[in-house]
Amino acid sequence: MTKEGLIKEIKAIAIIVIIIGISITTILVFQNTDFRDVFVYCLSGYVSLILLLFICGKYIKNRYFNNFKTVVLFPIVIIYALLLITIPFLSLIVHTLLYFGIAFLIPELLSKGLSYFHLIDFITVQTIIYLKITLTVFISVLLNPLLRDIVYRLSPVMLKSSKKLKPLELDKLTDYFLSVQNVRFFVYSFYVVALLTTNYLNFQGQSFSTNAVNDKCILQSFVTFIAFDRALALAKLLDFKPSSLVAKIHKSILKKLDAEAEG
């Protein structure tokens, strides 16, 4: 990557971080009851003023009134611009949470169902935790197209039906962001952060989860995923097909039979 390309990517990352930071800060601020009450009062007054201006606009026709109305409506233009900027980022956050949430929900429901019928009573809690984490990352990588299709159907932004949001092409944006390679990167990043946190706490005599044994599940899950990911990569390079193997075996048997018939 060239220096200009690196600077471009750094700027893009900075913009993404800033927008996500602003969104999270806004959500946290609105959790404050006192601020929320003040905001509601101010918003009610602002909406009332706008309605009054539109009513008066039918009877008042002069430049000064129009200029005043433009100034009053200017915050709406700013809010609309901010929404256009934040909607793609917020939709990606929601879709990513949905994607991995569904991937986790599959082994979770499977575990609940098997537990209900007492079919996994012989398996320890730590083994179940390990299997849940491992199956979640396996599913997130292997079932990428299926999971994205489910996300589209469950998405609160209504990717397939909303005509107003269609020009934003949020479906293409999600396809790009949640591609197989990106999902693999997210999984590896999760493991890196989890392992750094777990190892630090363990060295401090603490545990990331309820105990050190549960923490070990994360480490073993990561080791399993590395082997799994490596196996997938090698499988793509293999010049091997089960159908070709069966055909070759069939051909060798026929040659053997022909040789015995001639002999």
91-112 confidence digits (pLDDT tens):
888 899 999 999 999 999 999 9
The yes-or-no verdict on residue 19 having pLDDT over 70 is no
- pLDDT tier for residue 39 given thresholds of 50, 70 and 90: low
The CB-side HSE value for 33 (13 A sphere, CA atoms) comes to 0
222-258 confidence digits (pLDDT tens):
888 988 888 888 777 777 667 777 887 878 887 767 7
| Residue 176, C-beta contacts closer than 8 angstroms, at least 6 positions apart | 182
**Token pair 């900075």 in the structure block, residue:** 14
Q: Is the pTM value of this prediction over 0.75?
A: no
- Cα separation, 226 vs 261, in Å, equals 52
**Token pair 């390679």 in the structure block, residue:** 181
- pLDDT tier for residue 120 given thresholds of 50, 70 and 90: confident
- pLDDT tier for residue 146 given thresholds of 50, 70 and 90: very high
- Cα separation, 68 vs 29, in Å, equals 30
- 3-state secondary structure at position 61: coil
Q: Quote the pLDDT of residue 240.
A: 66
Q: Quote the pLDDT of residue 104.
A: 93
List the one residue out of 108, 172, 184 whose CA is nearest residue 144. Answer: 184
- 3-state secondary structure at position 93: helix
- Cα separation, 210 vs 46, in Å, equals 50
Tokens for 98? Answer: 């949905």
- pLDDT tier for residue 1 given thresholds of 50, 70 and 90: low
